[in-house]
Amino acid sequence: MRGQEGRAPKMDWGSILDVGVGIGALLVGIGIFVAMIALARVFGRLRGTLDEVDRQLSTLGKPIGEALEHVEGISATADDTLAKLGGAVGALESVAQAVSSTSNLVRGAISPAIVNIGAVLDGVSAGLRRLVTGKSPGDASPSEELIHHGK
């Protein structure tokens, strides 16, 4: 029988499997560690960028606030002006209504007078015609009547 010298030691596959799993877990841990370092650098740059944006926004905040206050002042002035114009338009409407009422009253008062003046002028012209011609309107011939009436 041979001695144990020439024989290869028996391999324990369970131990090899345990060592392999351990080395794999170590490599996964190192990979996650490297990925987290890269992510930390990205977040560091992002924080720097956000700080710069924040600084720029804070410098813009004051002029934008002043501009908005100016616009608010203009808006308030425009509202006041529109309110005044609304009052003026109301007053003009009242004046226009009063003028319309007055013109209706004057027309109502003058219309009968104009009709009366027309009747008086007709009577005066008939009287003058009778005085000049010596005939009444019923005595005239149809051709003379056309001449007198201007037809």
Q: Does the pTM exceed 0.85?
A: no
Give dist(CA 64, CA 69) in Å, integer: 9
Give dist(CA 71, CA 77) in Å, integer: 10
**Lowest pLDDT segment from 3-7, 20-24, 54-58, 139-143:** 139-143
Query: Can you give the residue range of the structural domain that contains 108?
Result: 26-149
What's 11's DSSP letter?
P
CA angle 121, 125, 126 (to 5 degrees): 115
Residue-wise pLDDT for 93-115, tens only, equals 888 888 888 887 777 777 777 77
Q: Tell me the pLDDT band of 8, cut-offs 50, 70 and 90.
A: low
Examine residue 76 and state whether it is found in any structural domain, yes or no: yes
Report how many domains make up the chain: 1
pLDDT computed for residue 38 by the predictor: 95
Report yes or no: 97 and 103 within 8 Å, Cβ to Cβ: no
What average pLDDT does the segment 24-42 reach?
96
For 77, the 3-state DSSP assignment is helix
58: left (phi over 0), alpha (psi -120 to 50) or beta: alpha
Give dist(CA 50, CA 55) in Å, integer: 8
Q: Tell me the pLDDT band of 136, cut-offs 50, 70 and 90.
A: low
Examine residue 114 and state whether it is found in any structural domain, yes or no: yes
Is residue 132 over pLDDT 80?
no
Examine residue 11 and state whether it is found in any structural domain, yes or no: no
In which residue are the tokens 């056309």 written? Answer: 146
As to burial, measured by CB atoms within 10 angstroms (0-12 exposed, 13-18 middle, 19+ buried), residue 129 is middle
Examine residue 59 and state whether it is found in any structural domain, yes or no: yes
Examine residue 7 and state whether it is found in any structural domain, yes or no: no
Examine residue 133 and state whether it is found in any structural domain, yes or no: yes
